Structure 1
Amino acid sequence: MYHQLGRITGRLIAASNLQAPLFPVAPIALQRVEVPVIQYNTNQFSTVTEEACAAPGKRNLMPGTNTPYPPVPENIRRKQELFQRDNDLPVFLKGGPADVILYRLTLLLCALGLVGVVQTIYSHAIPKKQ
């Protein structure tokens, strides 16, 4: 038995015109299809050959290509050396005096925020005396 909404009342009524189900009773099996072979555009992508990796001048190749990595700018190389130096400083202080100032300012703001939270909790927990 199938139902539909009545046009006048808007309630469910028995449907007389829906004698067939809205979906197939006996589903038809899908046909098997071979998976397509992936084809790469060899004009845009080139694979790295064994000879290219064995050559001494071509060890810094980008993966999957025969092009070398671009050179690293000098300012980035200096920062890498600065941050990789073993001087027993945490990484957030290795930037110099500016990092120390920012670190201490952050600690000060965290402490002020903690004091503000404690003050708010105290003022809400203990009523004012009148």
Structure 2
Amino acid sequence: MYHQMSKITGRLVSASHLQSPLFPVAPIALQRVEPPVIQYNTAHMTTVTAATARPASSGKLMPGTNIPYAPLPETIRKRQELFQKDNNLPVFLKGGPFDGVLYRLTMALCILGVMGVVHTVYTHAVPKKQ
């Protein structure tokens, strides 16, 4: 099998219509490409200076910026405390009784689905008696 350079991607592709190697494509020497120059201290890459830096007591800064994280609403903070408690419950039941209902409903639907699959496989595998 012969190969040729693709005009679209510039990579080797199989060429089944060629009768002899390198026809109609001739080998081309590789071109040298210079690596791009790295530019430091541009407008997109600034460093934190003492004048723009906030004190550590004001909270954490977003990565790569001088902007502090927005404060969390109190409801989210309470939910975090609820889910981080060590009360030996799995995380999918820590939300309260409604989570328990959702868990049991999901398990029941999964069991019904598996039973439906088993029934379908059985009806297709075992022929009806005539």
TM-score for both structures, normalised by structure 2 = 0.64
Query: CA offset at residue 99 of structure 1?
Result: 1.0
SS at match of 1:35: coil
Taking only the aligned residue pairs, the percentage that are identical comes to 50
User: CA shift at 1:35, angstroms?
Assistant: 2.9
Unmatched segments (≥5 aa) in structure 2: 1-16, 18-22
Total equivalences in the alignment: 108
Cα offset, 1:66, TM superposition: 2.0
Residues 39 and 118 of structure 1, relative CA distance in 2, 3 Å threshold: same
Residue in 2 that maps onto 1:18: none
Aligned to 1:105: 105
Q: Is the 8 A contact 2:83 2:95 kept in 1?
A: yes
Alpha-carbon distance in 1 for matches of 2:91, 2:27: 67
> 1:39: how far off?
4.7
Q: Which has the larger radius of gyration?
A: 1
Q: Which runs of 5+ in 1 are unaligned?
A: 1-11, 13-20
1:17-47 deviations in whole A, cap 9, x for unaligned? xxxx8666664x64664632325543x6542
The code of the aligned residue for 1:36 comes to: V
- Could you report, residue by residue, the CA deviation over 1:48-101 in whole angstroms, capped at 9, with x for unpaired residues? 247847x44245122222221110111111111111111111111111111111
Other-structure match for 1:62: 62
Whole-Å Cα distance in 1 between the matches of residues 24 and 50 of structure 2? 61
The normalised TM-score by structure 1 is: 0.64
113-122 vs 33-42, which deviates more? 33-42
Show the counterpart of 2:72.
Answer: 72
1:38 pairs with 2:39: yes
- Match of residue 117 from structure 1: 117
Q: Is the contact made by 1:46 and 1:66 (CA closer than 8 Å) also made in structure 2?
A: no
Aligned letter for 1:87? Answer: N
